[in-house]
Amino acid sequence: MATYLEKGTKVLLSQRGHKGFFYPDPEVWETTAVRSQVIPQTWLGSDMSAVLISEDAIYGTGREDRLIPVWVEKSDLIKAQ
């Protein structure tokens, strides 16, 4: 089942923390530039959901083939059937 984020969704970027794990960085928010498919991750450590999203979907000028970890509110995830 595919999972999406709508254009304009606020996402929290990640920071590398203890033992190289990714954690949400509460200081760095971005907004998605386009509606995009994401890959949900089963990471712990936050009330938010971790997903991988293409760099291009956030910055609009990034690489489409480069995935970056971001954190979103669970209610912002759209599951397509």
Nearest by Cα to 69 from 53, 46, 48, 47 = 53
Q: With bands split at pLDDT 50, 70 and 90, how would you rate the model's confidence at 45?
A: low
Q: What span, in angstroms and rounded, lies between the C-alpha atoms of 31 and 59?
A: 8
Number of structural domains found in the chain:
1
pTM for this structure? 0.88
* Predicted confidence band of residue 33 (pLDDT cuts 50, 70, 90): very high
Q: Is 57 left (phi over 0), alpha (psi -120 to 50) or beta?
A: alpha
Question: Does residue 52 register a pLDDT over 80?
Answer: yes
pLDDT 10s digits, 35-44: 999 999 998 7
The residue range of the domain holding 62 is 3-79
Please write the tens of the pLDDT for every residue from 53-71: 999 998 777 777 899 999 9
